């Protein structure tokens, strides 16, 4: 019997490049056919063939309340009934902006956009316009969306400027981006000693989630803050993934470090397309119509997306929400680590708030170079074995995972039971 997933993927490849609308969905790194999902509820999703999976992707992070959370769905339905878009201000977007200013450290003003990529792209343009400088610092393995200046890989030396990592990115654009090693304080200090007065900003994932999960060294984040303050550069925390995911005030609240500008997405839209960037008032007032830095968007502050965001942020403000989410996530990572050890598999895992990382190496990595030492073949085998067991993990060894509120004892225990069988398979290969 032909799988509907296979049929859909065959049809999709005829009309969509690679058959998908975002590359990691294609299963290229793990092999096999991507699953086409028809519905979700709570911690589970169902594919086109009707198979159920415990979901640890959660639309790549936004669904902190799980799939089809009733109050969010109801808020979206009510907003849609009044109109899908106006291209004009609404009271709801003011309410959301006020809420973000209240909850996110250092944010005095905020501009709503439609995606995380748009937020980071705009934040970097803002930093350049505010400082009058062109050069930016990013870190290898951190992903900040697909804007030209951010699709850059490291050059041949520790302090060289980057080269394009995507066709279509001009070399002269990449040349303004300095790519350094994540968590390498000495390299960062050397870069500022050499280039500091021409650096507009540092943009950093305070908890890296796009090379799998890599937790920051505190000294590294402190150096980012101190060097930007000393040299008049703008510190941008990319919290598209970590915002309202690792704690009620994001990574800034978790580590007690305030950035100059923060970018947000995912959770603040509750599953709808919504992003934001905000920060110090003096920096934000460089944005048009007040200042010379231009940014605009037809669907920015879309009322349906804003409704989903307000409902989500309201629900996660419940007392104890993040404590319970963190406990569940650590229950998962501790259980997976114990299962791997029992099977004799080289494996480690860690959690930060509602995010987690799985690594087929003895200890969690602290840099992109260490991530690249993970046993990708072992992950790919584990991924497909877990998929067969009805557990949906990110289809790449280089992506973080996400736990949502409806992942309870039943889901965690079922996942760990499946993992024990899958780890045993690895040792029997």
Question: Over the chain, what HEC string results?
Answer: CCCHHHHHHHHHHHHCHHHCCCHHHHCCCCCCCCCCEEEEEECEEEECCCCEEEECCHHHCCCCCCECCHHHHHHHHHHHHHCCCCCCCCHHHHHHHHHHHHHCCCCCEEEEECCHHHHHHHHHHHHHHHHCCCEEEEECCCCCCCCHHHCEECCCCCCCECEECCCCCCHHHHCCEEEECCCCHHHHHHHHHHHHHHEEEEEECCCECCCCCECCCHHHHHHHHHHHHHHCCEEEEEECCCCCCCCCCHHHHHHCCCCCEEEECHHHHCCCCCEEEEECHHHHCCECCCCCECCCCCCCCCHHHHHHHHHHHHHCCCCCHHHHHHHHHHHHHHHHHHHHHHHCCCCEEEEECCEEEEECCCCCCCCHHHHCCCCHHHHHHHHHHHHHCCEECCCCCCCCEECCCCCCHHHHHHHHHHHHHHHHHHHHC
Given 181, 182, 266, 392, which residue is catalytic? 266
Tell me how long the chain is: 429
For residue 17, the Cα-to-chain-centroid distance in whole angstroms is 23
Q: Is the pLDDT of residue 162 over 70?
A: no
Residue closest to 355 by CA, chosen among 346, 363, 364, 347? 364
Given 143, 182, 359, 368, which residue is catalytic? 143
Residue 429, pLDDT score: 61
Asked if residue 212 lies in contact with residue 357, where contact means CB atoms within 8 angstroms, the answer is yes
| Annotation marks residue 153 as catalytic | no
Q: Is the pLDDT of residue 158 over 70?
A: no
Given 135, 238, 359, 392, which residue is catalytic? 238
| Annotation marks residue 266 as catalytic | yes
**103-108 average pLDDT score:** 98
Asked if residue 253 lies in contact with residue 105, where contact means CB atoms within 8 angstroms, the answer is yes
Task: Give me the percent of the chain exceeding a pLDDT of 90.
Answer: 90
Lowest mean pLDDT among 143-152, 255-264, 271-280, 349-358: 143-152
Q: Is the pLDDT of residue 159 over 70?
A: no
Fold type of domain 70-315: 3.40.640
For residues 74 and 143, the model is more confident at: 74
Mean predicted lDDT score pLDDT of the chain: 95
- 10 Å CB burial of residue 21 (0-12, 13-18, 19+) is exposed
Residue 428, pLDDT score: 84
Q: Is the pLDDT of residue 153 over 80?
A: no
Residue 20, pLDDT score: 94
Q: Is the pLDDT of residue 403 over 50?
A: yes
Residue 349, pLDDT score: 98
Region(s) of the chain under CATH 3.90.1150.10: 4-64+319-428
As given in the structure block, the two tokens for residue 33 are 């056919």
How far is residue 272's CA from residue 234's CA, in Å, rounded to a whole number?
29
Region(s) of the chain under CATH 3.40.640.10: 70-315
For residues 153 and 329, the model is more confident at: 329
Asked if residue 214 lies in contact with residue 365, where contact means CB atoms within 8 angstroms, the answer is yes
Residue 156, pLDDT score: 36
How far is residue 144's CA from residue 137's CA, in Å, rounded to a whole number?
12
Q: Is the pLDDT of residue 340 over 70?
A: yes
Which tens digits make up the pLDDT trace of 236-295?
999 999 999 999 999 999 999 999 999 999 999 999 999 999 999 999 999 999 999 999
Q: Is the pLDDT of residue 388 over 60?
A: yes
Query: Binning pLDDT at 50, 70 and 90, where does residue 204 land?
Result: very high
Task: Give me the percent of the chain exceeding a pLDDT of 70.
Answer: 97
**346-370 average pLDDT score:** 97
- Between helices 321-343 and 409-428, what is the axis angle to 10°? 20
**403-412 average pLDDT score:** 98
Pairing of strands 109-113, 275-279: antiparallel
Query: Binning pLDDT at 50, 70 and 90, where does residue 402 land?
Result: very high
Q: Is 218 left (phi over 0), alpha (psi -120 to 50) or beta?
A: alpha
Q: Is the peptide bond before 36 cis (omega within 30 degrees of 0)?
A: no
| Annotation marks residue 238 as catalytic | yes
**175-184 average pLDDT score:** 93
Residue 152, pLDDT score: 79
Query: Binning pLDDT at 50, 70 and 90, where does residue 157 land?
Result: very low
Residue 161, pLDDT score: 52
Asked if residue 394 lies in contact with residue 380, where contact means CB atoms within 8 angstroms, the answer is no
Which tens digits make up the pLDDT trace of 35-86?
999 999 999 999 999 999 999 999 999 999 999 999 999 999 999 999 999 9
CATH number 1.10.40.30 given to 4-64+319-428? no
Residue 329, pLDDT score: 98
Residue position matching structure tokens 């992903």: 143
**111-140 average pLDDT score:** 97
As given in the structure block, the two tokens for residue 53 are 């999976």
Asked if residue 347 lies in contact with residue 360, where contact means CB atoms within 8 angstroms, the answer is yes
């Amino acid at each position: 019997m032909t799988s509907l997933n296979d049929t859909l993927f065959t049809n999709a490849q005829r009309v969509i490049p690679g058959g998908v609308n975002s590359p990691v969905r294609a299963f290229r790194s793990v092999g096999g056919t991507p699953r086409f999902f028809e519905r979700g509820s709570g911690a589970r999703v169902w594919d086109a063939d009707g198979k159920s999976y415990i979901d640890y992707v959660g639309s790549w992070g936004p669904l902190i309340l799980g799939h089809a959370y009733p109050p969010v769905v109801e808020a979206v339905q009510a907003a849609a009934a009044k109109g899908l878009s106006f291209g004009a201000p609404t009271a709801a977007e003011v309410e959301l902006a006020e809420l973000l200013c209240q909850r996110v450290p250092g944010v005095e003003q905020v501009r709503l956009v439609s995606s995380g990529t748009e937020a980071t792209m705009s934040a970097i343009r803002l930093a350049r316009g505010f400082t009058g400088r062109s050069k930016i610092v990013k870190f290898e393995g951190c992903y900040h969306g697909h804007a030209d200046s951010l699709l850059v890989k490291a050059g041949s030396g520790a302090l060289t400027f980057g080269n394009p990592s995507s066709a279509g990115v001009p070399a002269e654009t990449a040349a303004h981006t300095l790519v350094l090693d994540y968590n390498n304080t000495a390299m960062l200090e050397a870069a500022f000693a050499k280039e500091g007065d021409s650096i507009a900003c540092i943009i950093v994932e305070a908890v890296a989630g796009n090379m799998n999960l890599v937790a920051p060294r505190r000294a590294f984040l402190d150096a980012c803050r101190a060097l930007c303050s000393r040299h008049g550069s703008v510190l941008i925390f990319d919290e598209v993934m970590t915002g309202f995911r690792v704690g009620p005030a994001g990574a800034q609240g978790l580590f007690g470090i305030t950035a100059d500008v923060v970018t947000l997405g995912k959770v603040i839209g509750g599953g709808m397309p919504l992003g934001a960037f905000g920060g110090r008032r003096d920096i934000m007032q460089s944005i048009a119509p007040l200042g010379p830095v231009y940014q605009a968007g037809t669907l920015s502050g879309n009322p349906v997306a804003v409704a989903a965001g307000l409902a989500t942020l309201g629900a996660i403000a419940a007392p104890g929400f993040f404590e319970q989410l963190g406990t569940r996530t650590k229950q998962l990572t501790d259980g997976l680590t114990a299962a791997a050890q029992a099977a004799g598999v080289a494996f480690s895992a860690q959690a930060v708030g509602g995010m987690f990382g799985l690594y087929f190496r003895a200890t969690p990595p602290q840099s992109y170079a260490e991530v690249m030492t993970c046993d990708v073949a072992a992950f790919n085998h584990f991924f497909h074995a877990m998929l067969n067991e009805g557990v949906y993990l990110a289809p790449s060894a280089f992506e973080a995972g996400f736990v949502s509120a409806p992942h309870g004892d039943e889901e965690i225990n079922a996942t760990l039971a499946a993992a024990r069988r899958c780890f045993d398979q690895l040792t029997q290969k």
